[in-house]
A and B are shown apart, each in its own frame.
Chain A
Amino acid sequence: MKVTFKIKRYNPEIPGKDKPYWEEFTLDNVEPTDRLLEMLHRIKWEQDGTLTLRRSCAHGVCGSDAMRINGVNHLACKVLMQDLGSKVTIEPILGLPVLKDLVVDMEPFFDHYKHVMPFFVNDTPLPADGRERRQSQFDREAFDDTTKCILCACCTTSCPSYWANGKYVGPAAIVNAHRFIFDTRDQAAKERLEILSEPQGVWRCRTIYNCTPACPRDIQVTKAISEVKLAIRKGSPEGIIKVTEIVERVVNA
Chain B
Amino acid sequence: MLHRVSGIGVVLFLVIHVIDTSWAVFYPELYEKAVASYQSPLFTVGEFALVALVVYHALNGLRISIMDNKPELWKYQEKAAWGVLGGTVLLLVPVFIWMGMHVVDHYAKPNVFVLPLAEVLREQIPFAAGMGVAVIAAVLAAGAYQMIAKPAEIQGSAKAQGSKLETFWWSFMRVSGLIIVPLVFGHLAMLHLLQGVFDLTLAGGRVVGVPTVGSPLSQAELDAVGLVWPAIQNGINDTGTATEFVAERWNFMLGGVAVWRLYDLALLALVTIHGFNGLRYVLTDYTQQYPVLRRASGYLCVMGAVVLLIVGGAALVATIEPTAIAMADEALRALHAAHGFAG
**Footprint of B on A, CB under 8 Å?**
111, 115, 160-161, 164-168, 194-195, 197-201, 203-204, 206-207, 209, 212, 220, 222-224, 226-227, 229-230, 232-233, 244-245, 247-248, 251
Contacts and interface: CB of A to CB of B under 8 A. Distances in A.
Given A164-B285, A195-B158, A199-B161, A209 B74 contact: yes
Given A115-B157, A220-B74, A232-B167, A167 B288 contact: yes
B159 A207 contact: no
B171 A233 contact: yes
Contacts of A245: 72
Contacts of B150: none
A199 B167 contact: no
B74 A233 contact: no
A160 B166 contact: no
B68 to A, nearest CB: 6
Interface string B56-82: 000000001001111110100110010
A161 B285 contact: yes
B341 interface: no
Interface of A is mostly: helix
Contact of A198 (B70, B81, B161, B170): B161
B163 A111 contact: no
Nearest to B286: A164
B156 interface: yes
Contacts of B284: 165
B313 to A, nearest CB: 28
Interface in B149-175: 156-159, 161-167, 169-171
Contacts of B281: 206
Interface residues of B, number: 33
Contacts of B78: 209
B167 A226 contact: no
Nearest to B157: A115
Contacts of A115: 156-158
Nearest to A200: B158
B290 to A, nearest CB: 11
27 contacts: A115-B158, A164-B286, A164-B288, A168-B288, A194-B159, A195-B158, A198-B161, A198-B163, A198-B166, A200-B158, A201-B158, A203-B167, A203-B169, A203-B170, A206-B281, A207-B64, A207-B67, A209-B74, A209-B77, A226-B69, A226-B71, A227-B71, A230-B71, A232-B167, A244-B71, A247-B70, A248-B72
Contacts of A161: 285
Contacts of B288: 164-168
Contacts of A209: 74, 77-78, 81
A233 B167 contact: yes
Contacts of A199: 158, 161, 163, 165-166
B342 interface: no
A247 B158 CA distance: 34
Contact of A195 (B67, B159, B170, B171): B159
Interface in B27-74: 64, 67-72, 74
B1 interface: yes
A230 B167 CA distance: 10
B161 A223 contact: no
A217 to B, nearest CB: 15
A199 B3 CA distance: 21
Given A220-B74, A222-B77, A207 B285 contact: no
A233 to B, nearest CB: 6
Contacts of A204: 285
Contacts of B71: 220, 222-224, 226-227, 230, 244
Nearest to B173: A203
Contacts of A167: 288
A178 B197 CA distance: 52
B298 to A, nearest CB: 11
Contacts of B162: 194, 198
Contacts of B159: 194-195, 198
A203 B166 contact: yes
A1 to B, nearest CB: 30
A165 B285 contact: yes
B55 to A, nearest CB: 20
Contacts of A201: 158, 166
